[in-house]
Amino acid sequence: MPIGQLMKNLLKGLVFLFYFPIYLIQVAGGWLWNQVLDPALSWLMLRIVLPVWSWIWRFVLEPLWTYLFRIPGLWLWEKLLRPFLLFLWSYLVYPFFYYVLYLPLRLIWIYGLRGFYRHILLPVVNACRIAAAWLGRALAALWQFLVLRPLRWLWRTLIVRPAYWLYRTLLHPPLAWFRREVLKPIAGWFREWFR
């Protein structure tokens, strides 16, 4: 027997040795659940647990909940808490916020701060906005004339024009010759071959 076949059979034996007990447990457990436990538990739940729980809920817990918590809670809300909260809002909280906070602040705004805001603060803010826009345009013009234009001139004069001159005088003739004498004939040959 060749060594490859021997190794193959050895691996099959090891897989069978480890896999077969797991497979056996899985098949036995599935049969036990499907054939024995699931029908018994389903019957127990449907015939005993659910009817007993339904009876306990309907005749014990629901009346207990209704008479101990729900009815007294509704009575407490309707007769005590809601009128008390309405009284607090109507006679304490709303008057405090209206007469102590809102009305004085409104009077201070109408007779004190509104004139200052309209006649002093708004014109000052508008003048500051105009001055800031003018200053921004002046700084942009200075940046344009003092930095960007000289840099553009230096770029064109010192880098672009010499690079273009080098390309036209040193690189263009050899590249044009290479294209004309080498690439075009090769392309023509390929065109003729694959026509």
**For position 1, what pLDDT does the model report?**
64
In which element (H, E) is residue 173 found? helix 172-178
**pLDDT tens for each residue of 72-129:** 999 999 999 999 999 999 999 999 999 999 999 999 988 888 888 899 999 999 999 9
The candidate with the shortest Cα–Cα distance to 68, out of 60, 56, 80, 58, is 60
**Structure tokens of 52?**
């007993």
Distance CA 77, CA 167 (A): 93
Distance CA 121, CA 136 (A): 22
Rg (CA), the chain: 48
Distance CA 116, CA 110 (A): 10
**Structure tokens of 115?**
């004139």
DSSP code of residue 195: -
**pLDDT tens for each residue of 49-88:** 999 999 999 999 999 999 999 999 999 999 999 999 999 9
